[in-house]
A = this chain, B = another copy of it.
Amino acid sequence: MATLKYSRQRESIKDFLMTRHDHPTADVVYENMKLIYPHISLGTVYRNLSLLADIGEIKKLASFDGADRFDGRTDRHCHFMCTKCHCIVDMDTLDFDHILGDANSSFKGEITDCTARFFGVCENCLKESKK
């Protein structure tokens, strides 16, 4: 098993994700990293995002609409995506333990995880449409 070695790039990527709560795509991370490391490569960004996700320091959100997104928040929570502006926001209303218990009780395999996504119109777009 490979030993992890420090890398400025990886550290910056993680720091960046901790400050953003809009679930950026790899490309957005890349654009922002270029401000710090003008020669950083997209490959490096992807490699580090995968690595960080593998060791559980960030979470990868499989494609909502096209590219994968990354989340600096790693505790279990769910997401809402606005079908108008495509923003993605965190939600904490779901009782995962209860749902997982329910699901497992009637399932012959073994369920260990669950993701949930809500869709609709966000507060801002709702205001817009009422004008």
- A binding-site residues for B, Cβ under 8 Å: 62-65, 80, 82-83, 91, 93-94, 99-100, 102-103, 106-126
List B contacts of A82 (CB < 8 A): 109
CB-based contact B108/A91 at 8 Å: no
Can you tell how many copies of this chain the complex includes? 2
List B contacts of A125 (CB < 8 A): 109
CB-based contact A119/B114 at 8 Å: yes
CB-based contact B108/A93 at 8 Å: no
Q: Which residue from chain B places its CB closest to the CB of A113 in the assembled complex? A: B119
Q: Which residue from chain B places its CB closest to the CB of A68 in the assembled complex? A: B63
Q: Which residue from chain B places its CB closest to the CB of A124 in the assembled complex? A: B109
List B contacts of A94 (CB < 8 A): 99, 102-103
